[in-house]
Amino acid sequence: MAVLGLGATGFALVDTFVELGCDVLALANEAGPDTLRILEVLGVVPVVAGDRGLSAALKDFSPEALVLSPGVPADSPVVTAAENQGVLVWSDLDAAWRVRDKREHLSPWVLVAGETYGRRLAELAARLLNAGDVPALVVGHHSDVLLDALRDPHDYQALIVLASDNQAQLLARGEGHRSPYVAVCVEETSTLTNGALFDGTQLACVYRKSLGPSMSLVEDADVSDGARAIGVGFDSPDRSDLGLVEGILVDRAFLDDRANHAFEVSTLEELSEAGWTIPEDLPVIVGAIAVARAFDVSPAVIAGVLTLP
């Protein structure tokens, strides 16, 4: 196995592969002295060089797969060299999915993509889940390292996996075999061109209604049997959507009789009084509500968190 990038995630990848008994090639344009010392203890001799030197080392090593740290762009010259060599290219999320079964407890994943709303949505979703007695942790891009969370003895009922744009580009190549419980993208713009981000989703694909590309991404996805498309909008919701009715935020997705009823969650007035900026914060709020409702957190608990001053 080869790993490109030696930040916190890259080091965790190298450490994991060594622990699994793999021969590991560690590649980076730069690496700190502490990282180099620990790699020496692990028996890994890193290659720290420019892209041409890294590509040459990759060719000599000829790994089964090259795993990228979150900050490595999908169009890196080293990635191109790997693909020309016939080496599989994985995101760190794909690698983590493959080794998650090394623990007895398998935490369901909530995959959240998007640079505009993703981080805040993930953090709010975690707050809502934890308030509803569903232990959750945000991991991934600019958060706790996913592989470290997989080693954590705490039995999380949800790992909210935040994907950077670089990671999302790799996920959208469709080379992974992920199966998140819920996948979320409520962005107004995206560079993604296919639905592989949502592939394998087990329960709910949460997308932005009537704005942005995420609805077409969901339509293009190959999901698990029984998974539903859950629309997030700011007008009257259709069946299986969350939206607004006369200033009332309602869930018409996660209830049995969604053809005839809806759950009231909160109101725009209450959210404004609690300090939310309306309508700018609505994609974050409604997307996070969808995640919480997918895990059966009650509307009352959600409202209590959202309306805290």
Mean pLDDT of 154-180: 85
Given a cut of 90, whether residue 172 has pLDDT beyond it is: no
Q: Which of 1-5, 119-123, 145-149, 263-267 has the lowest mean pLDDT?
A: 145-149
User: Who's near 37: CB < 8 A, 6+ residues apart?
Assistant: none
Check residue 169 and give its pLDDT.
82
**What distance lies between CA 41 and its chain's CA centroid?**
32
Instruction: Say if residue 107 is in the same domain as residue 222.
Output: yes
Residue 271 lies in a domain: yes
For residues 122 and 268, state if they share a domain: yes
What is the Cα–Cα distance from 258 to 184, expressed in whole angstroms? 21
Whether 209 is covered by a domain: the verdict is yes
The CATH number of whichever domain residue 13 belongs to comes to 3.40.50.720
Q: Report if residue 288 sits inside a domain.
A: yes
pLDDT score at 151:
84
Q: How many domains does the chain have?
A: 2
Find the helix or strand (DSSP H, E) in which 19 lies. Answer: helix 8-19
Q: Residue 47 pLDDT more than 80? A: yes
Whether 260 maps to a domain, the answer reads yes
Write the CATH number for 193: 3.40.1190.10
Q: Which of these three, 32, 61, 86, is where a domain ends?
A: 86
pLDDT of residue 175: 65
Shared domain check, 72 and 207 = no
Band the pLDDT of 277: cuts 50, 70, 90.
Answer: very high
Q: Is 192 inside any structural domain?
A: yes
Same domain membership, residue 140 and residue 69 = no
Residues 61-103 pLDDT 10s = 999 999 999 888 888 999 999 999 999 999 999 999 998 887 7
The tens digit of pLDDT for each residue in 290-303 reads 999 999 999 999 99
Which of 39, 61, 86 is the endpoint of a domain?
86
Task: Please give the pLDDT value at position 176.
Answer: 63
Average the pLDDT over 187-206 and give the result.
Answer: 90
Judge whether 96 lies within some domain.
no
Q: What is the pLDDT of residue 181?
A: 97
Alpha-carbon gap, residue 55 to 208, rounded angstroms: 40
Q: Give the whole-number percent of the chain exceeding pLDDT 70.
A: 99
79 and 221 co-located in one domain: no
Q: Which pLDDT score, from 0 to 100, does residue 193 have?
A: 80
**Which has the higher per-residue pLDDT, 139 or 74?**
139
Domain encompassing residue 141: 103-306
Q: Is the pLDDT of residue 20 over 70?
A: yes
Contact 114, 121 (CB under 8 A): yes
pLDDT of residue 258: 86
Residue 237 lies in a domain: yes
Q: What is the percent of the chain with per-residue pLDDT over 90, rounded to a whole number?
A: 76
If asked whether residues 149 and 270 sit together in one domain, one would say yes
- Over range 194-212, report the average pLDDT: 91
The set of residues, in sequence order, having a beta carbon less than 8 Å from that of 210 and lying 6+ positions away, is 233, 235
Average pLDDT over the chain, rounded to an integer:
92
